[in-house]
């Protein structure tokens, strides 16, 4: 069978644009959670004690902290709400004391506990600290900053001293702030002021004579008496239990683990904490089930307006997602070019655009705050491929042929945005001429009411459909563009003139494309990554006595594999998978795009067994199309 798709563990992943064939489901690459997913998950059988799954939360959950016994935990939300489970006492929260209609200036990013187990502090991204129970207040950053001054980087994490008489606050840039008996032992900016740290956790040593600062890429910086440590792995032992990778839950000397995961803790998408006594809990957010209304080729004005009107009529929340492809040219750090496409060429990035006002609940706090500053967000895989860091300036080439320079505000882990390569707000999108409404996303709905409403979607709009996050999209899912680049190479290209052809650099073609002698159909040019599985599929068809069902002349003349072009139709400029040479068209004349497929299902079954998705099952059928979904799993 083909390689498994990543299972989503958060609501944010359902917003991902991870396939670029518009006949595919808008949620196709994301396996579905239950209708009301659990927000706290125990790793390796760790018991859980409850969570606010059934509540309509005012803000995303951002932190989880264990009690001293390990038989309970506290959860904190971005608005300062606190939820206590098991033997964790509830000692107060911020909304409890704020006047009606008043909210925090900046969101809470972490809850840290007092050494007595009978108190906790809430820490906000501006360095504000709120104390409850036996936890004393020792000061906060807004208290000491000059009037109107702001931190260079937001606070992302905190830790209390073993005595309970102090705490450290950690900035995203690796800066450290001390209060009470917390001692200062150094910070990341002191080591390298040019480094964009993306710090996510600070862990003190047993005697508080030092601490380690953990960066989102797994790097660990040691200070004071903290021993030097190598990079941490980025996944826990039981990934299936939590649905996606998070930062390692490796124990440190004081038997405390991370309070937050590899993503910036302010996002509220997920967090992980070591349970006292062993095991771990993972906190994941779900604003609720999601429905995407989408249409092959992009939403028409009629379809978009109908979906918005029907959903809003039930009181549900909605937003419009734009998707397509934006070209990358270069990136700069401190004015120096650190990465670039080959001179005169461009590299396509899969891109999405959202309204800033809905980015927080859909994509998390760091993305929302980046959007508010008109900054872009780059996916983790893409950032690694091009050595892009937070704070870098990226040069993009837009649909309006304008060159735009924009700052990277956040590098997003897959747990936040799936494998989206590039995300931006609508203002940035407009500067690039990037406007392509691809789906209406709906959440916070009454199930019965929304289903009744969407039953009235216009029937005269071709290929208009709905996907539900709790329903599997089927077996013919395809690779995200970002993962495909890892497996089959990332091409630089230029438009090829009128129509849909594109021109690829010959160097990339030489490295990734070659002729392969296929059973039945003969020599075809494809990506070398698919050669073995394609040969196996055609050989199995021949062995099954089905070769006579393949029209060799038609397949060789009008089908085949490698053809650099964009996806035909209103595809947002995305490259066809034929551009990578990982799609194979069979019997095209009798299985035309958008018509009922006629290909024999025994052939379909063989291709699927060899790791190819079949386009004939898609909403807008593409019966000739078989697309590689990655290397086959090795037999254990």
**The domain made up of 291-468 is a member of CATH 3.30.420.40:** no
382 — pLDDT class (breaks 50, 70, 90): very high
pLDDT in tens, 404-418: 999 999 888 665 677
Q: How far is CA 463 from CA 298, 300, 325, 469, 581, in A?
A: 10, 11, 21, 19, 27
The residue ranking higher by pLDDT, 182 or 447, is 182
Q: What is the pLDDT of residue 568?
A: 67
Most confident segment among 64-68, 83-87, 616-620 = 83-87
What is the three-class DSSP state of 389?
coil
Q: If you search the block for the tokens 């910070």, which residue do you land on?
A: 187
| Cα angle 8, 11, 13; round to 5 | 45
Most confident segment among 252-266, 312-326, 410-424 = 312-326
Query: For 165-185, what is the mean pLDDT?
Result: 94
The residue ranking higher by pLDDT, 269 or 241, is 269
Q: What is the pLDDT of residue 218?
A: 67
Query: For 319-333, what is the mean pLDDT?
Result: 94
The residue ranking higher by pLDDT, 29 or 489, is 489
For residues 201 and 170, the answer to whether their CB atoms sit within 8 Å is yes
Is the pLDDT assigned to residue 544 strictly greater than 50?
yes
Q: What is the pLDDT of residue 475?
A: 67
Is the pLDDT assigned to residue 347 strictly greater than 90?
yes
Query: For 511-520, what is the mean pLDDT?
Result: 97
Evaluate the CA torsion angle 592, 594, 600, 605 in order and state its sign. Answer: positive
pTM for the whole thing? 0.64
How many Å apart are CA 315 and CA 349, to the nearest integer?
35
Q: What is the pLDDT of residue 351?
A: 93
Q: What is the pLDDT of residue 399?
A: 94
pLDDT in tens, 112-147: 999 999 999 999 988 999 999 999 999 999 988 876
Closest CA to 519 of 502, 535, 508, 530: 535
Strands 403-412 and 376-379 turn out to be parallel
Q: What is the pLDDT of residue 269?
A: 37
H-run or E-run covering 450 = helix 447-454
**Domains 57-284 and 291-468 agree in fold:** no
261 — pLDDT class (breaks 50, 70, 90): very low
For residues 266 and 154, the answer to whether their CB atoms sit within 8 Å is yes
Q: What are phi and psi of 238, to 5 degrees?
A: -110, 75
Q: What is the pLDDT of residue 182?
A: 96
Strands 422-425 and 347-354 turn out to be parallel
Q: How far is CA 251 from CA 43, 45, 204, 205, 506, in A?
A: 14, 18, 12, 11, 49
pLDDT in tens, 389-400: 999 999 999 999
Count of beta carbons in the 10 Å neighbourhood of residue 306: 21
Query: For 429-454, what is the mean pLDDT?
Result: 90
Contacts of 200 (CB under 8 A, 6+ apart): 156, 157, 214, 215, 216, 247, 258, 260, 261, 262, 263, 264, 265
Is the pLDDT assigned to residue 283 strictly greater than 80?
no
Q: What is the pLDDT of residue 468?
A: 79
Q: What is the pLDDT of residue 178?
A: 96
Q: What is the pLDDT of residue 301?
A: 96
Q: What is the pLDDT of residue 230?
A: 64
Query: For 300-321, what is the mean pLDDT?
Result: 94
Contacts of 509 (CB under 8 A, 6+ apart): none
Beta bridge partners of 411: 378
Evaluate the CA torsion angle 354, 356, 361, 363 in order and state its sign. Answer: positive
Query: For 80-96, what is the mean pLDDT?
Result: 94
How many Å apart are CA 593 and CA 581, to the nearest integer?
18
How many Å apart are CA 232 and CA 61, to the nearest integer?
25
The domain limits of the chain are 57-284, 291-468, 491-628
Q: What is the pLDDT of residue 52?
A: 85
How many Å apart are CA 270 and CA 263, to the nearest integer?
8
Listed in order, strand segments (DSSP E) in 285-385 are 291-295, 317-333, 336-340, 347-354, 376-379
How many Å apart are CA 463 and CA 621, to the nearest integer?
10
Q: How far is CA 306 from CA 26, 300, 526, in A?
A: 18, 10, 42
Task: Compute the mean pLDDT over every residue in the chain, rounded to the nearest whole number.
Answer: 81
Q: What is the pLDDT of residue 191?
A: 67
For residues 167 and 182, the answer to whether their CB atoms sit within 8 Å is yes
Percentage of the residues of the chain whose pLDDT score is greater than 70 = 78
Q: What is the pLDDT of residue 571?
A: 62
Q: What is the pLDDT of residue 270?
A: 47
The two structure tokens encoding residue 227: 């021993």
Q: What is the pLDDT of residue 443?
A: 81
Exposure string for 63-97, b = 16+ CB within 10 A, e = fewer = bbbbbbebbbbbbbbbbbbbbbbbebeebbbbbee
Is the pLDDT assigned to residue 604 strictly greater than 90?
yes
Is the pLDDT assigned to residue 515 strictly greater than 70?
yes
14 — pLDDT class (breaks 50, 70, 90): very low
Q: What is the pLDDT of residue 380?
A: 87
Q: What is the pLDDT of residue 371?
A: 92
pLDDT in tens, 16-56: 222 223 334 333 322 222 233 457 877 667 888 988 876 65
In this structure, CATH architecture of domain 57-284: 6 Propeller (2.120)
pLDDT in tens, 446-488: 878 999 999 999 999 988 999 876 565 566 878 889 989 999 9
Query: For 433-448, what is the mean pLDDT?
Result: 88
Q: Where are the alpha helices (DSSP H) in 341-391?
A: 356-363, 365-372, 380-385
Count of beta carbons in the 10 Å neighbourhood of residue 588: 19
156 — pLDDT class (breaks 50, 70, 90): confident
What is the three-class DSSP state of 555?
helix
């Amino acid at each position: 069978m083909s390689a498994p798709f990543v299972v989503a563990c958060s609501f944010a992943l359902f917003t991902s644009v991870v396939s670029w064939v518009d006949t595919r489901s808008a949620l196709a690459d994301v396996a579905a959670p239950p209708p009301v997913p659990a927000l706290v998950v125990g790793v390796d059988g760790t018991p859980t004690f409850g969570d606010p799954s059934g509540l309509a939360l005012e803000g995303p959950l951002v932190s989880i902290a264990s009690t001293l016994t390990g038989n309970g935990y506290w959860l904190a939300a971005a608005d300062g709400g606190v939820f206590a489970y098991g033997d964790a006492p509830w000692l107060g929260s911020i909304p409890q004391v704020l006047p009606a209609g008043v909210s925090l200036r900046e969101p809470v990013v972490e809850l840290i506990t007092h050494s007595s187990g009978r108190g906790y502090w809430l820490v906000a991204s501006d360095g504000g600290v709120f104390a409850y129970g036996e936890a004393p207040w020792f000061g906060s950053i807004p208290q000491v900053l000059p009037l109107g001054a702001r931190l260079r980087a937001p606070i992302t994490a905190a830790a209390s001293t073993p005595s309970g008489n102090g705490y450290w606050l950690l900035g995203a840039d690796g800066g450290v702030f001390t209060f009470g008996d917390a001692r200062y032992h150094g910070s990341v900016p002191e080591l390298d002021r040019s480094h964009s740290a993306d710090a996510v956790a600070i862990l003190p040593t047993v005697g508080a004579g030092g601490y380690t600062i953990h960066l989102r890429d797994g790097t660990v910086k040691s200070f004071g008496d903290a021993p030097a440590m190598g990079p941490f792995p980025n996944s826990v032992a039981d990934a299936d239990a939590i649905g996606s990778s998070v930062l390692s839950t490796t124990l440190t000397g004081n038997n405390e683990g991370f309070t937050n995961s590899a993503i910036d803790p302010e996002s509220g998408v997920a967090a992980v904490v070591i349970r006292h006594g062993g095991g771990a809990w993972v906190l994941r957010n779900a604003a609720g089930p999601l429905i995407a209304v989408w249409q092959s080729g992009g939403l028409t004005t009629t379809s978009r307006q109908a979906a918005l009107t029907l959903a809003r009529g039930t009181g549900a929340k909605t937003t419009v997602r734009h998707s397509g492809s934006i070209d990358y040219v270069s990136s700069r750090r401190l004015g120096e070019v650190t990465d670039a496409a080959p001179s005169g060429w461009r590299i396509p990035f899969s891109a999405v655009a959202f309204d800033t006002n809905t980015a927080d609940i859909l994509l998390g706090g760091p993305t929302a705050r980046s959007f508010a500053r008109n900054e872009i967000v780059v996916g983790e895989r893409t950032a690694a491929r091009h050595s892009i860091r937070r704070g870098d300036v990226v040069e993009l080439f837009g649909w309006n042929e304008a060159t735009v320079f924009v700052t990277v505000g956040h590098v997003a882990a897959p747990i936040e945005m799936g494998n989206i390569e590039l995300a931006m707000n609508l203002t940035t999108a407009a500067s690039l001429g990037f406007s392509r409404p691809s789906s209406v996303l709906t959440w916070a709905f009454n199930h019965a009411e929304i289903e009744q409403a969407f039953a009235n979607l216009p029937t005269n709009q071709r290929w208009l459909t709905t996907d539900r996050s709790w329903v599997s999209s089927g077996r013919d899912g395809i690779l995200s563009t970002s993962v495909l680049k890892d497996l089959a190479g990332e091409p630089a290209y230029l438009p090829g003139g009128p129509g849909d052809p594109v021109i690829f650099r010959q160097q990339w073609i030489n490295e990734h494309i070659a002729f392969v002698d296929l059973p039945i159909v003969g020599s075809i040019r494809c990506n070398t990554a698919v050669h073995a599985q394609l040969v196996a599929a055609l050989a199995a068809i021949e062995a099954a006595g089905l070769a006579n069902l393949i029209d060799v002349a038609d397949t060789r003349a009008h089908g085949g594999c490698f053809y650099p072009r964009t996806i035909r139709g209103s595809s947002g400029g995305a490259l066809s998978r034929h551009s990578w040479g990982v799609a194979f068209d069979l019997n095209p004349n009798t299985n035309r795009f958008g018509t009922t497929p006629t290909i024999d299902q025994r052939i379909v079954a063989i291709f699927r067994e060899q790791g190819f998705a079949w386009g004939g099952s898609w909403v807008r059928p593409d019966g000739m199309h078989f697309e590689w979904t990655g290397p086959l799993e090795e037999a254990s």
